């Protein structure tokens, strides 16, 4: 459900940058979305559809670049990408991990 606020922020950021570049239309937005960011593509597209109406981003398509979660086991130092958010270390089976990456959520670039 928090995709609504995320799309509001995403749109504001896109419009701000388009404005700075004096663009008349936003064509494509490339997003980097970490696996652990909890952001669902379908929900983002859905909210973007109606939130972008009446803006220069109305026709824009969103492209998602997903970055996998990477965790480091505090017990045996193994770095691994969890499958289906199972945080257990594949090596020692413990769940003592720190998140190395996967929480990214940013606009990489735009075509205007």
Partner 1 sequence: MSVKILTIKEDILGANEEKAKINQELMDKHHILMINIMSSPGAGKTSLIIQTIKRFKGKTRIAVIEGDIASTIDADKVSQQAIPVVQINTAGACHLDANMIKKALDNLALEQIDLVLIENVGNLICTAEFALGAHKKVMLLSVPEGDDKPYKYPLMFTEADVVLVNKIDVLPYFDFNISAFSRAVSGLNPSTRIFPVSAKTGEGLEPWFSWLEDAIKQKTSTA
Binding site for partner 1 (CB under 8 A): 1-2, 4-6, 9-10, 12-14, 17-18, 21, 23-25, 27, 31, 36-38, 74, 85, 87, 94-99, 105-112
Tell me whether residue 58 or residue 105 sits nearer to partner 1 (CB atom). 105
Give residue 48's region: left, alpha or beta (phi > 0; psi -120 to 50).
Answer: alpha
Closest C-alpha to 48, from 13, 81, 75, 82:
13
Tell the smallest beta-carbon distance from residue 53 to partner 1 (Å): 19
Q: Is the dihedral of CA 14, 20, 25, 26 positive or negative?
A: negative
Tell me whether residue 38 or residue 49 sits nearer to partner 1 (CB atom). 38
């Amino acid at each position: 459900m928090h995709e609504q606020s995320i799309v509001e922020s995403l749109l504001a950021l896109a419009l701000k940058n388009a404005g700075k570049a004096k663009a008349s239309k936003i064509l494509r937005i490339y997003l980097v979305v970490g696996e652990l960011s909890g952001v669902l593509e379908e929900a983002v597209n859905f909210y973007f559809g109606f939130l972008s109406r009446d803006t220069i981003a109305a026709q824009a398509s969103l492209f998602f670049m997903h970055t996998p979660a990477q965790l480091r086991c505090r017990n045996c130092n193994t770095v691994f990408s969890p499958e289906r958010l199972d945080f257990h270390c594949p090596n020692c089976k413990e769940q003592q991990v720190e998140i190395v990456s996967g929480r990214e959520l940013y606009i990489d670039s735009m075509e205007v």
